Amino acid sequence: MNAAKKNNVKVVGKGQKPMLFAHGYGCDQNMWRYITPAFEADYKIILFDHIGFGGSDTTTYTKAHYTSLQAYAADVLDICRELELQDLVFVGHSVSAMIGVLAANMEPEWFSKLILISPSPSFINDGDYIGGFSREDIEGLLGSLDSDYLGWSNTIAPVIMGNPARPELSQELAGSFCRSNEAIAKDFAHVTFLSDNRKDLSQVKTETLILQCMDDAIAPLSVGEFTHQNIAGSRLVVLEATGHCPNLSAPEETVAAMKSFL
C-alpha cells in the first residue's frame, strides 16, 4: 500500500515549498485547521493521520512493528519519499515533535526546518531531569487507559487541554480520543509515554523552533528548556498560551511564532 493511502495524506495550498503537519496523540489532521490557512498561500501543505487515527488504514497496523516512535518516523519518511518533499518544513505537535526529530536524524536530507510544538523527549522524571511525571504516575495513567479507555479519555482531555474556561476544547479532544481505534490507541499510548528520546536531541542538525506553552501540565517549562539546551542552535519561544494544545487554544499566537521563525 502507498503511504498516501495508508496515512490518509491530503495536500492543499498554493505554494511550492512543502510544510508537513504531524498531529499529537489521540488526534488527527483536523487538529491543524486553525493553523494551516495562514500558510496555504505560500506553502504546499501536507496533512496526514498516524496509523490508528483519523482516516488512516488500520489494516496496515501490526503491534510487532509499531513498538517504538522510530516506526512512526519511518511512516513520515515514506510520505516524504512518495511525495518527494524536498526542503521540507516539519511541524510536529506533542509526540509528533519527537517523531519529527527521529525522522530528521534518520534522513536529514528531506528537512530544512523543524517546528516542535509542546515537545517532550521523556515524560518521566529522572534525576535532574524533570519530565513532569514519576514512573508511578505514568504506570497509573497507562493502567487507567488500558482498563477504561473511554473513561480515561474524558478524564484526561481537560488536563491536556488546560483551558477550563473553554470546555468545548476539552470536549473536542475527548471526542477525538474516542473516535480513535481503541486497540491501536492503547498501544500508541505505551510507546508515547514510555519513550525516552533525550539522547536523540543532540543529533539534530536541522534548524529548529521549539514552542512551549507557559503553563502545560503534560510538558512543563523545564521540558522545553531541556529540549532547547540539547538541540544546538535551536530557538525556544514560550507562548502566553496555557495547556498542551496551542494549535487549538491559541492558534494566532502559534502562527505568529511560526511565521517569525520561518
> pLDDT by residue for the chain (262 residues), tens digit each?
699 999 999 999 999 999 999 999 989 999 999 999 999 999 999 999 999 999 999 999 999 999 999 999 999 999 999 999 999 999 999 999 999 999 999 999 999 999 999 999 999 999 999 999 999 999 999 999 999 998 988 888 898 998 988 889 889 888 888 788 999 999 999 999 999 999 999 999 999 999 999 999 999 999 999 999 999 999 999 999 999 999 999 999 999 999 999 9
The C-alpha atoms of residue 21 and residue 51 are separated, in whole angstroms, by: 15
Amino acid at 260: S
* CB-CB contact of 201 with 121 (8 Å): yes
DSSP string, 167-211: HHHHHHHHHHHHHS-HHHHHHHHHHHHH-B-HHHHTT--SEEEEE
pLDDT recorded at residue 241: 95
C-alpha cell at 262: 520561518
Side-chain-facing half-sphere of 73: CA atoms under 13 Å = 23
Q: Nearest CA to 20 among 50, 38, 45?
A: 45
Residue 179: C-alpha distances to residues 153, 186, 213, 240 (Å):
10, 13, 26, 30
CB-based burial of residue 37 (10 Å sphere; 0-12 exposed, 13-18 middle, 19+ buried)? middle
Which pLDDT does position 178 carry in this prediction?
A: 75
pTM above 0.85, yes or no: yes
Instruction: Report the run of H or E that residue 88 belongs to, with start and end.
Output: strand 88-93
Tell which residue, 114, 120, 131, has the closest CA to residue 207. Answer: 114
Integer angstrom CA distances of residue 57 from 52, 66, 212, 227:
7, 14, 32, 33
Exposure string for 143-168, b = 16+ CB within 10 A, e = fewer: eebeeebeebbbebbbebbbbeeeee
Whole-angstrom Cα distance, residue 132 to residue 61?
A: 30
Query: Torsion over CA of 64, 119, 53 and 179, rounded to 10 degrees?
Result: 120
What is the pLDDT at residue 121?
98
pLDDT at 1: 65
pLDDT of residue 169: 86
Phi, psi for 59 (deg, rounded to 5): -70, -15
Please report the domains of the chain, with CATH numbers, ordered by start residue: 3-261 (3.40.50.1820)
Which positions ≥6 away from 165 have C-beta within 8 Å? none
**pLDDT value of position 179:** 85
Active site residues: 94, 216, 244
